[in-house]
Amino acid sequence: METEIKEIEIIFFAEIKEINSLQDLEKLRIKYLGRKGILDGLFSQLSHIESSQRPLLGKMLNELKEKILKEIKEKENLWAGDKELAGIDLSLPGLYFVIGKKHILTQTIEEVLAIFEKLGFTILEGPEIETEYYNFTSLNIPQEHPATEAFHTFYLEGEISSGERRPRSAPGKGRYLLRSQTSTVQVRVMENYLPPLRIISPGRVYRPDAVDASHSFMFHQIEGFAVDENIKFSDLKGTIFVFAQRFFGKEIKMRFRPHYFPFTEPSVEVDISCIICQRNQKPETSNQKCGVCKGKGWLEILGAGMIHPRVFHFAGYPKHKYTGFAFGMGVERMAMLKYGIEDIRLFFENDLRFLRQF
Ligand code: PHE
């Protein structure tokens, strides 16, 4: 009888595997566990068995009964779950939600800010509606100087209200305008805080430029500056190099070209080696000109320099006490160089086919 019990177990498990409906499962249950079922038959045979063997065989039979019950229950539960789905077409596509994401310019600004925050810079923002004083005078640009010409537009009507905080050195009342550069935050911050300063300041700027592939009357800049008792040009170089490597990649090279800005002295423009040529492994001398650097091999990324003593004067800092560096970069330009975008207008046209790529 012992072997019989073992055989029945094997047969049961083989049979239940083949079952695919609740009705068949019920039939199987009756076959094994019902009155006059297979197990019932075995139990009634027990009485004819020698009494010394009865406990062992009884135990085996009970165990088999348990196993069979458990197996049938499990299958039942599995199918009960399916029953709840009856009437639902599982092959229909799911509902889909359009999830928005950050504009590529916002992503770029955040990436740049994160790099400078790790270097110890603090984020501060200045106003877009600015006075002539902060946009020109405090940056050592005399109002009658031709350098202001490129910025002369977008004036607001009316004179600056008397409530506006105006340093004594500000000539006249002045007018309001849309700022043409984020450098305006330099004196604004210095008026309110003493060094050491490590400031990074993103924002919109406005210029009287006709719109084309590389110009826009509105774009974004990020200004950075550091002021302390012993800031040197090498600090500027080191900071910009670390930034450029983290933003564009470790493999880039960097160079500084002499330049002129009224509010820095000395002033420079900073170039990095063209990331597109480099990626394509094409040397600068290659016949086929690279579309991004136009075959020059270098890309201008920002303007910078050591803060001019006149700027500290307008800030009200004591003479000769502090030195500092400042730099300003165009956000659109950064994104264009990094991702090989050839037309600045793409950022503002709201064409989702473009925006979704980032
Ligand atoms: N403000 C300058 C520009 O708009 C960039 C700059 C910032 C240069 C700080 C030097 C120092 O071109």
Q: Which residue has the higher pLDDT, 49 or 283?
A: 49
pLDDT of residue 132: 87
Residue 240 makes CB contacts below 8 A (sequence gap 6+) with 254, 270, 302, 304, 327
pLDDT tens figures, 218-254: 999 999 999 999 999 999 999 999 999 999 999 999 9
Residue 321 has pLDDT above 80, yes or no: yes
Q: Which residue has the higher pLDDT, 9 or 288?
A: 9
pLDDT of residue 283: 54
205 sits in which H/E element = strand 197-206
Atom of ligand 1 nearest to the CA of 186: 9
Distance 327 CA to ligand 1 centre (A): 6
Residue 82 has pLDDT above 70, yes or no: no
**pTM, 2 dp:** 0.71
d(CA 342, CA 165): 42
Ligand 1 contact via 324 beta carbon (within 6 Å): no
What residue's CA is closest to ligand 1, atom 4?
181
Q: What is the residue-averaged pLDDT of the chain?
A: 89
Ligand 1 contact via 268 beta carbon (within 6 Å): no
Residue 343 has pLDDT above 70, yes or no: yes
- Tokens for 348, please give them: 């503002």
Give the residue extent of every domain in the chain. Answer: 2-85, 104-355
Structurally, at CATH architecture level, domain 104-355 sits in 2-Layer Sandwich (3.30)
d(CA 318, CA 170): 18
Distance 302 CA to ligand 1 centre (A): 8
pLDDT tens figures, 108-134: 999 999 999 999 999 999 999 998 889
Residue 167 pLDDT level (bands cut at 50, 70, 90): very low
What residues are paired with 330 via a beta bridge?
221
Treating both helix axes as pointing N-terminal to C-terminal, what angle do 331-339 and 233-248 enclose, rounded to 10 degrees? 50
The DSSP secondary structure of 159-220, one letter per residue, reads EPPTTS---TTS-S--EEEE-S-GGGHHHHHHHH-PSSEEEEEEEEEE--PPPBTTB-SEEE
d(CA 27, CA 16): 11
Out of 19-28, 165-174, 245-254, the most confident range is 245-254
Ligand 1 contact via 261 beta carbon (within 6 Å): yes
- Which is it for strands 155-159 and 254-261: parallel, antiparallel or unpaired? unpaired
pLDDT of residue 169: 47
Distance 328 CA to ligand 1 centre (A): 4
CB contact at 8 A, 324 and 186: no
pLDDT of residue 23: 86
Amino acid at the residue 132:
E
pLDDT tens figures, 95-112: 888 888 999 999 999 999
Ligand 1 contact via 135 beta carbon (within 6 Å): no
d(CA 271, CA 256): 6
Residue 292 has pLDDT above 90, yes or no: no
pLDDT of residue 180: 94
Q: Which residue has the higher pLDDT, 276 or 45?
A: 45
Q: Which residue has the tokens 């340093």?
A: 167
Q: Which of 315, 266, 320 is nearest to 133 (CA)?
A: 315
pLDDT of residue 166: 54
Helix (H, G, I), strand (E, B) or coil at 344: helix
Report the percent of the chain where pLDDT is more than 90.
Answer: 63
What residue's CA is closest to ligand 1, atom 9?
327
What residue's CA is closest to ligand 1, atom 10?
304
Q: Which residue has the tokens 């992503």?
A: 107
Ligand 1 contact via 183 beta carbon (within 6 Å): yes
Ligand 1 contact via 297 beta carbon (within 6 Å): no
pLDDT of residue 161: 67
Judged by average pLDDT, the poorest of 158-162, 307-311, 336-340 is 158-162
Judged by average pLDDT, the poorest of 184-193, 251-260, 273-282 is 273-282
pLDDT of residue 47: 85
Residue 164 has pLDDT above 80, yes or no: no
Residue 245 makes CB contacts below 8 A (sequence gap 6+) with 252
